[in-house]
Structure 1
Amino acid sequence: MKRQSALVVFSGGQDSTTCLFWALKHYGKVQAVTFSYGQRHGQEVEVAKNIAEELKIPHHILDMSLLGQITENALTSHIAIQAEEGEVPNTFVDGRNHLFLSFAAVLAKQMGITDIVTGVCETDFSGYPDCRDAFIKSLNVTLNLAMDYDFVIQTPLMWLDKAQTWELADQLEVFDYVKDKTLTCYNGIMGSGCRECPACKLRQHGLETYLAQKGEV
């Protein structure tokens, strides 16, 4: 039986698009929220908008450009992407998931929605501290206390690696859609992307691993 409704934090990338389809399977009504925070390629917001329109999902775009005013990183400015082993890459935006989920919660409450779906993942993440399960659980409690409301932050990808995320998209029968119509690349190239940035390498490695497991490589 489907739960009543959900709000999906949606960037138009592989993970959030897979989560969007997951939500469509598990909830009777689904809406999406995208944050415009001065990311280095505006295509991200446009891709999210186009997918939401194609799937006929109510879509909210919130202005969070102040993030670019108070942080310097490779996602909000055109500095070179650096991802040294053992260190948090400079694509990490301090406070991003904290702020996004907090604002998503405010929006969700206004619409009578308790369930917020996000594509954060601890298994195959880039060292981002705000993708950890402990952070999500802590924030969930904080939001409930802050607004006296029974939020549930759903993280369907939390314990999946990228190969398993591709498998989930396949199980949801949207494998080709996610492969061709999403934008994960830090350089703003849809689909397989530039294949050089950390996001593209992680996505491609997961895809190749999954196809090999299926015997298609």
Structure 2
Amino acid sequence: MRKGKAVVVFSGGQDSTTCLLWALREFEEVETVTFQYGQRHSLELECAASIAKELGVRHHLLDMSLLGQLTPNALTRHDMAIEHEEGQLPSTFVDGRNLLFLSFAAVLAKQVGAKNIVTGVCQTDFSGYPDCRDIFVKSLNVTLNLSMDYEFVIDTPLMWLTKAQTWQLADDLGALDFVRNRTLTCYEGVIADGCGTCPACLLRSRGLREYEAAQSEGVRL
């Protein structure tokens, strides 16, 4: 276990919940921060708060609703279809989201005496989002350190994992059933296995099937 405190950027979804469980194993003290940015489903906020309470961690909720007003996207507007055309960013991409979330998480982290910020961004299964890339995170890490003269470390435990390997990590942490049944990843706002048809659910379920197949064969991914 590493000494010190970490702040986890937390949505209550599969990835961020796995990161929270990872952080609880890695750090002496952990807090979470969730952002209200006008997302389609307030259930996401309730789910995040509920999981944080059950796991016994302090939970912060920050209002970032202006973000949803500035950038039209399918995560905040019900009149926009969830789609991804080849060669274009998905309609679910929110300009500046991870930039702002990580920046505000850093401000919070400094106030509560945390040096580490944990986020579930992933370049392997990143759906084309430019702000999930490793180069972006490393660049922002340097910028945050310079901007506040504070030695932040942005931890990205899922950065190079496939979705199947993310399920494997949850299992390694003894929490596969918890992550499967308590988290909200679905774009349609359905907890656990979700609607089964939106892009987030398809990625999640495909990863679970791949992990279960490897597990049945005794193969570690």
TM-score, normalised on structure 1? 0.98
Alignment-derived partner of residue 102 in structure 2: 101
Alignment-derived partner of residue 44 in structure 1: 44
- 1:92 offset after TM fit, Å? 0.2
- 1:109 offset after TM fit, Å? 0.4
Report the secondary structure of 2:110's partner residue: helix
> Which segments of 5 or more consecutive residues in structure 1 lack a partner in the other structure?
none
Contact 2:122-2:158 at 8 Å conserved across structures: yes
Q: How does 1:156-195 map to 2 (within 5 A)?
A: 156-195=157-196
- 1:84 offset after TM fit, Å? 1.7
- 1:98 offset after TM fit, Å? 0.1
Alignment-derived partner of residue 80 in structure 1: 81
Separation (CA, whole Å) in 2 of partners of 1:183 and 1:38? 16
Letter in 1 for 2:85: E
Alignment-derived partner of residue 11 in structure 2: 11
Separation (CA, whole Å) in 2 of partners of 1:160 and 1:193? 22
Verify: 1:206 aligned to 2:210, yes or no. no
Letter in 1 for 2:48: A
Letter in 2 for 1:170: D
Report the secondary structure of 2:170's partner residue: helix
Letter in 2 for 1:104: A
Deviating 4+ runs (over 3 angstroms): none
> Which segments of 5 or more consecutive residues in structure 2 lack a partner in the other structure?
none
Alignment-derived partner of residue 153 in structure 1: 154
Alignment-derived partner of residue 196 in structure 1: 197
Report the secondary structure of 1:46's partner residue: helix
Task: State percent identity of aligned pairs.
Answer: 67
TM-score, normalised on structure 2? 0.96
CA RMSD of the aligned region, Å? 0.8
Contact 2:4-2:115 at 8 Å conserved across structures: no
Separation (CA, whole Å) in 1 of partners of 2:21 and 2:28? 12
- 1:112 offset after TM fit, Å? 1.1
Separation (CA, whole Å) in 2 of partners of 1:70 and 1:2? 39
How many residue pairs match? The answer is: 216
Q: How does 1:47-66 map to 2 (within 5 A)?
A: 47-66=47-66
Separation (CA, whole Å) in 1 of partners of 2:130 and 2:57? 30
- 1:86 offset after TM fit, Å? 3.3
Verify: 1:35 aligned to 2:35, yes or no. yes
- Residues 17-52 of structure 1 show CA distances to partners (whole Å, capped at 9, x for unaligned) of 000000000001000000000001111100000001
